[in-house]
Amino acid sequence: MGVKSITTLLLLGLAVFSFAPPGTAQANDVAVIVSPGNPTTNISLGELRKTFAGAKRVWPGGQPVKLVTRGPGCPERLVLLRLLAMSEGEYKQYWTSQVFRGDADAEPLVVPSVGMQKEALRLFPGAISLVAVGDVKPGMKVLKVDGLLPGAPGYSLH
Amino acid sequence: MPRGRVRADIRGAILALLLVSGSSRAQDAGPSSSNQASDQETFAQLVEQIKQLQQEDHDLQERIKLLEAKQPQASPGTESNPSSPLAPPQSPEETPAEQIPPAPATVAVPHDWHDVHGIQFRGFGEVDYKVLNQRQPELGTDGFVPGSAGNFYTGDFGLFLTSRLTNKTSVLSEMVFEERDAQKYDVDLRRMLLKYDYNDHLKMSFGRYQTNIGYYNWAFRSAAWLQTTADRPLIMEYASNGGLLPTQAIGVSVTGAIPSGKLGLNYVAEYGSSDTVRPDINGDGLFTDENNGNQTNVGLFARPDILRGLQIGASYYHDKISNIVVNTPAVVQLFPPPGTPGSSVRYGQTIVNGYVVYVAHGIEFLNEGFLIRDAPLHLDYSVFNTPAFYSQFSRQIGRLRPFFRYQYVNASSSNGIYDDVSLRFGPSFGARYDLNDYISFKAQLDHTARRGEPDLNGLQLQFAFTF
């Protein structure tokens, strides 16, 4: 293969990546989901951080917050750890201390699948969770974060 | 399980019992008086078992009725697509949203939180080995044997229970087994709280609580596993282990968030009765019974959004105490050390605390300062001011967390309450290694300079664990 062929291939590849649809970036976004009956539609990043840190324990309507998370290694879990600026070990220790302080009754519920996330949203009206935007299903209400939906430019959870 | 099936199962069980008993009677056909007595006993047992089964059947029926009554009526259409115009990208193998059959609309809302959550149970423990370069014990509790330069002990072993009763109420209890002299264990109900969380701004607790003086008490409670260091700073040590602060009280504690935007302000207010009895830490075997009155503690702290992990706070505590020195095993009141005003002097005790801590990105930087002011009531005696502070820094590097701490306590030698403490200051350094998520190993070296005493050096090794 000559130098010209390689150059042509590289240029073609560059062109393909340059004109890739914006949906490619959106696919990495992680949506904040709640139960369909939850009246909240928008949440600030700060509020979201407080909620997943257990500092905000009640929804504006009075419903207790129920945290539902995915297990270690999942993309949603990595986004959660970035949101809280913690490592996996720090996260576990943080929640043990939250419970031991009496600031939380139990650690967040960990579910192994999207289906169980959906079930948890049905079971707990105050549930909140993170899900990869490609896994959003009917029965999951997606919240805006700082006024932005997943996929919008400037959306912060990915 | 359907109701008819439950009934059928129970009837089947009764029939099987009768058949079995009948066959056993047939096999024991030989007539004898002992057999007759045995038969009567068997019949009595069978009657009792039938009664129990009938009762269980009745209970099950009642439970089914209760569950059916609790089940909300199905209302079609509560399941909805995401309320937003968001059209999430569909993976090729994913069923399009329009084709997904709607899930059952009935939402099984848990009405009985206690049934759903049950009792959450946890435990904490530690196994320690401590060596000092003197034979007289410092903090002579925790199983540290007087006369020994080094020995093993178990520190606090804690059992922690929580249970949610309703949406807003829960119960929390913490029982700690503390090793004492001769490997005897005291049980201390460190916390026993009935909690009511009205909302994020008003959370109330009634019962025995740990006073929220400072950050350390709030953050680490009594679990060695949660702490980076092998022991607590002296100023934050439990009063029952010779610490200077009133660490426990029975009463009401209220806390919550103050609407303050990105400043993240929170408050805490406590009113309760303490009864602090602290052992002298110099190994003389004496105790000071402070005979506290009712204490008031108020505090504010901020967690600003601008720097995650930063917490700044202050608290103000007031109580009335005594400096009665007792030898508790014999319950004998002793004469106070020379220079103290008298054994029944009452003091107004005020404790002011301020702290700045940063815990994030693997960094832990704790800084707390205290001023304990003991002013005699109704008498023209000296006012004693006891300043204290500690500063602790650690950094997580993989599973290892090296740490450094410096602490300082300066109590007047004439202060009848803290005369055993006097002036103490010095560094501690070491490392914590997390073997896994539940067990950590810590090694710590201490150097403490003391007024009128030779410097004290110590090595502490600890396994701390949670389960």
In CATH, what number is assigned to the domain containing residue A100? Answer: 3.40.190.10
Cβ(B150)–Cβ(B131) under 8 Å? Answer: yes
**pLDDT confidence of residue B96:** 36
Closest-CA residue of chain B to A85: B361
| Mean pLDDT value across residues A15-36 | 65
> How many whole angstroms separate alpha carbon B384 and alpha carbon B345?
13
CATH H-level superfamily of B92-466 = Porin (2.40.160.10)
Reported as a single tens digit per residue, the pLDDT across A98-137 is 888 888 888 899 999 999 999 999 989 999 999 999 899 8
- Listed in order, strand segments (DSSP E) in B274-377 are 277-279, 287-289, 294-302, 310-322, 324-327, 332-333, 346-360, 363-376
What's the gap in Å between the CA of B140 and the closest CA on chain A? 27
Q: Which residues of B touch A86 (CB under 8 A)?
A: 360
Scanning A68-87 for CB atoms below 8 A from B yields: 85-87
Phi, psi of B463 (to 5 degrees): -100, 120
Report yes or no: B370 at the A interface, CB cutoff 8 Å.
no
Reported as a single tens digit per residue, the pLDDT across B424-450 is 999 999 999 999 889 999 999 999 999
Burial class for B261, CB neighbours closer than 10 Å (0-12, 13-18, 19+): exposed
Tokens coding B190: 């460190």
Domain count, chain A: 1
> How many whole angstroms separate alpha carbon A85 and alpha carbon B303?
15
**pLDDT confidence of residue B115:** 53
DSSP character at residue A58: B
What's the gap in Å between the CA of B263 and the closest CA on chain A? 11
**pLDDT confidence of residue B155:** 84
Are the Cβ atoms of A36 and B362 closer than 8 angstroms? no
**pLDDT confidence of residue B335:** 56
Phi, psi of B238 (to 5 degrees): -65, 140
> How many whole angstroms separate alpha carbon A14 and alpha carbon A9?
9
Cβ(B200)–Cβ(B240) under 8 Å? Answer: no
Closest-CA residue of chain B to A32: B82
Are the Cβ atoms of A102 and B78 closer than 8 angstroms? no
Q: Where are the domains of chain B?
A: 3-26+33-70, 92-466
DSSP character at residue A38: -
Report yes or no: A151 at the B interface, CB cutoff 8 Å.
yes
Report yes or no: B257 at the A interface, CB cutoff 8 Å.
yes
Cβ(A135)–Cβ(A127) under 8 Å? Answer: no
Phi, psi of B59 (to 5 degrees): -60, -40
Q: Is residue A153 part of a domain?
A: no
Tell me the average pLDDT of chain B: 77
| ipTM (interface predicted TM) | 0.72
3-class DSSP assignment, residue B393 = strand
* Residue % of chain A over a pLDDT of 70: 83
Tell me which of B180 and B212 has the higher pLDDT. B212
Phi, psi of A124 (to 5 degrees): -115, 110
Beta carbons within 8 Å of A16's beta carbon, 6+ residues apart: none
Q: Is residue A151 part of a domain?
A: no
Q: Is residue A70 part of a domain?
A: yes
DSSP character at residue B233: -
Tokens coding B72: 């909300």
Nearest to A100, CA basis, from B462, B233, B195, B162: B162
Give the pairing of strands A66-70 and A127-132. parallel
**pLDDT confidence of residue A146:** 92
What's the gap in Å between the CA of A1 and the closest CA on chain B? 35
Looking at the predicted structure, is the pLDDT value of residue A3 above 90? Answer: no
Tokens coding B285: 């075997």
Nearest to B339, CA basis, from B278, B416, B420: B416
Reported as a single tens digit per residue, the pLDDT across B383-439 is 899 999 999 999 999 899 999 999 999 998 888 788 888 899 999 999 999 998 899
> How many whole angstroms separate alpha carbon B235 and alpha carbon B368?
10
pTM of the model: 0.72
Q: Is residue A150 part of a domain?
A: no
Burial class for A9, CB neighbours closer than 10 Å (0-12, 13-18, 19+): exposed
Looking at the predicted structure, is the pLDDT value of residue B52 above 70? Answer: no
> How many whole angstroms separate alpha carbon B38 and alpha carbon B76?
62
Looking at the predicted structure, is the pLDDT value of residue A18 above 80? Answer: no
Are the Cβ atoms of A138 and B102 closer than 8 angstroms? yes
Q: Is residue A55 part of a domain?
A: yes
Tell me which of B173 and A24 has the higher pLDDT. B173
Angle, CA of B184, B188 and B192, to the nearest 5°: 160
Angle, CA of B52, B54 and B59, to the nearest 5°: 95
Cβ(B290)–Cβ(B276) under 8 Å? Answer: yes
Are the Cβ atoms of B303 and A55 closer than 8 angstroms? yes
Q: Which residues of B touch A87 (CB under 8 A)?
A: 362, 396
DSSP character at residue A34: E
Cβ(B75)–Cβ(B52) under 8 Å? Answer: no
Are the Cβ atoms of A138 and B396 closer than 8 angstroms? no
Are the Cβ atoms of A149 and B172 closer than 8 angstroms? no
